[in-house]
Structure 1
Amino acid sequence: MMKFIKSLDWAVFTFFRVLAVGLLCLLFVLMSLNVILRFYPVFSIGWFDEIVELSFAWMVFATAAILWRGRKHPKIDFLEILLKGTRCQPVLLAVVEVINILFLSIFTYYGFMLVMTAAATSPIFKIPRKVFYVAMPTAGVYMTILSVIFLAGYLRKIVAFESTTTQPVEKSV
């Protein structure tokens, strides 16, 4: 079961990574094309805005999920470093992770509600706005699951720290 979970995590992570890099490249090409066509108006790219909007939305949330998995998101770690090696550090990290889970759960819920209520379409390609917005709950679910896994790791550290400090002392005879 654990092997399946790890391979599923790797597949989702790889999907988000390929998607983020691909969309970044697409945005670079589209922006460059837009600049060139301002000087040499060979053809019109009236669809430019909606593709950029769609690409940017998915790129941002895919990148957020990638950073979340690697724990590379910006954070203030003053207390974490100050408490390193103490029992308080995993407790602090567990509390922060519970707050993360609450935030991500709310974010995912409202992202899902936005997807469900969206009825508009893009003007040129008639892409449903749901496609634009589904990036939020998709990344939110993944980040919430990761946070639950991180929390479990912190809780294991708390228990392990406690078990190493409460072992009975052997009396020498």
Structure 2
Amino acid sequence: MKTDWHKLDRLISAVLRGFCTLSFMALTIVMGGVVLIRFWPVATLSWSDEIIELLVAWIVFIGAAELWRTNSHFRIEAVYDIVAAWRFGWLYRLVLEAAAMVFIILFTLYSLNLTISAIDVSPILSWPRPLWYAVMPVSGAIMAGYSLANILKVIGDSRSPRA
């Protein structure tokens, strides 16, 4: 069972990293095109702002989900490392993970509501605006899943003889 979870984790990692890489490459191409068009005005790229906004939003939130998956997100670890080493440090870690999970669940629910309630379209491409917002509940759900895994890990670690 554990290897199945590891396979799923590796698949999620590959999808998140691959998506961010491809999106960043597309963003580079579009922005490079915008710069070149300024020097050689052979076409208009009036649509590029919308594509850039969309790509940046998806890169930021999917990238955040990958950082959350690997625990590479920004956090202050000095207190965390000191307290976590104490006998009941697992309880401190559990409270932090639970608080983070509550925030992520609220973020996911509110962003899902925003995505569902958005009815406008982009001005130039006329794409539905929920495309810009959909990344938030998607990444939030991924982060909530990994928060749950972190909570279960803390609980499992608390039962070990060393805790």
Shorter-chain TM-score range = over 0.9
Report deviation, 1:7: 2.8
CA contact (8 A) 1:87 1:158 kept: no
Aligned residue number for residue 40 of structure 2: 40
Moved more, 48-57 or 8-17: 8-17
Mapped contact 1:116–1:130 kept (Cα < 8 A): yes
C-alpha separation in 1, matches of 2:34 and 2:113: 34
Distance 2:56 2:9 in 1: 23
Q: What residue is the counterpart of 1:118 in the other structure? A: 118
Structure 1 residue 160, shift from structure 2 partner: 1.6
Matches within 5 A, 1:107-146: 107-146=107-146
Q: Do the aligned residues in 1 keep the contact of 2:97 with 2:151 (CA within 8 Å)? A: yes
Equivalent-residue separation in structure 2 for 1:121 and 1:55 (angstroms): 16
Aligned residue type for 1:16: L
Asked whether 1:74 is paired with 2:84, we answer no
Give the distance between the partners of 1:55 and 1:23, measured in 2 at CA. Answer: 6
Name which of structure 1's ranges 77-86 and 60-69 shifts more when overlaid on structure 2: 77-86
Give the TM-score, by structure 2 length.
Answer: 0.92
- Deviation (angstroms), 1:85: 3.1
Report if the CA contact (8 A) 2:108-2:137 is conserved.
yes
Cα drift, residue 24 of structure 1: 1.1
Write the distance in 1 (CA, Å) between the matches of 2:91 and 2:56: 37
Instruction: Kindly state the Cα deviation for residue 6 of structure 1 after the two structures are TM-superposed.
Output: 3.3
CA contact (8 A) 1:68 1:143 kept: yes
- Other-structure match for 2:63: 63
1:171 corresponds in structure 2 to: none
CA offsets 1:83-112 (integer angstroms, 9 cap, x no match): 353223322211110011000000000010
TM-score, structure 1 normalization: 0.87
In the alignment, the residues of structure 1 paired with residue 21 and residue 101 of structure 2 have an alpha-carbon distance, to the nearest angstrom, of 27
Q: Which string of whole-angstrom CA distances, capped at 9 and with x for unpartnered residues, describes residues 18-53 of structure 1?
A: 111111111112112111111211111111011001
Report the residue type matching 1:35 in the other structure.
V
Unaligned runs of 5+ in 2: none
Q: Which moved more, 1:107-116 or 1:22-31?
A: 22-31
Q: Deviation of residue 2 (structure 1)? A: 4.2
The number of residues matched between the two structures is: 163
Q: Is residue 84–residue 92 contact of structure 2 (8 Å, CA) maintained in 1?
A: no
Q: Report the AA paired with residue 119 of structure 2.
A: A
